[in-house]
Amino acid sequence: MAPDMPPLIITATPNKSWLNPELAYPEAIADVAAEAERCVAGGASILHLHSVSEWVPLIAAVRAVAGDALVQCGMSSMLLEDRMDIYEQGADMISIIASHHAEAFPEGDVDVLHPMTELLGYCKLCAEHGVRPEFEIWHSGSIWNLKYLLDHTELARPVINTLFFGWPGGTWSPPTIEEYLARRQLMPPGCVVTVSVMGPERYGILAAAITSGDHVRVGTEDYGYDRWGKPAQASELVTELAGLAEALGRPVATPGEARKMLAFGPAR
């Protein structure tokens, strides 16, 4: 492990498992907040949350218990005009897929176009409201779009990204270390990279990310099973990854450290 490697930022996803919808996860706002608090206690610095119509009370409830943890609002398949509550509430981050949605899950496929005009609109709103974009990078085409946005908009640095592997559907990419290294090499400078893997192959890729200086995302949304194949909540998976990082010799970032590393101000 390089001595100058930054602490590991863990993102927790205490949300519905799209791949295994039968798995339990916190649904009521109070339950989401309680699980978010447990995730932070286990080592998470970023909380990736889901909502459709209750962003305002959800963000408030989580912030009340999560201290300095960063609030990242997901559901990037929704259209921009349906996500204005995220900006108005002043979340830390909003997830933006840097391409199109083409996913295949047991309860139905998700196919949503996100043209460049929408991506540019997202970047404009992020600058106006002080909400940072978190770009979802599903394949090399997503990186082409990201570079276009870097050339045509004013994005705060570092630019925050998540690379996805093994999520089924038309934007699928193989959950292999080779794919991680190949796509990672294409990322432009000035980017911070987190890795998400949907499937039991995740440990090798997450370990590669940890030892390469990147960051990791785990939880019931990504893959709701522990290393023994037993169902687990996001907080348990965070604790498991923190243990892996410790074994690999990389310290886990506190929420305060994550804010400094990602150039965020104090929690709102």
Going 8 to 150 to 116 to 80, the CA torsion angle's sign is positive
d(C-alpha 155, C-alpha 23), whole Å: 37
Q: Is 167 exposed, middle or buried (0-12, 13-18, 19+ CB in 10 A)?
A: buried
pTM comes to 0.97
Q: Do the Cβ atoms of 27 and 50 come closer than 8 Å?
A: no
Domain assignments of the chain as residue spans, ordered by start: 10-261
Fold of 10-261: TIM Barrel (3.20.20)
The pLDDT profile of the chain, 268 residues, written as one tens digit per residue, is 556 889 999 999 999 999 999 999 999 999 999 999 999 999 999 999 999 789 999 999 999 999 999 999 999 999 999 999 999 989 999 999 999 999 999 999 999 999 999 999 999 999 999 999 999 999 999 999 999 999 999 999 999 999 999 999 999 999 999 999 999 999 999 999 999 999 999 999 999 999 999 999 999 999 999 999 999 999 999 999 999 999 999 999 999 999 999 999 988 7
- DSSP tag of 3: T
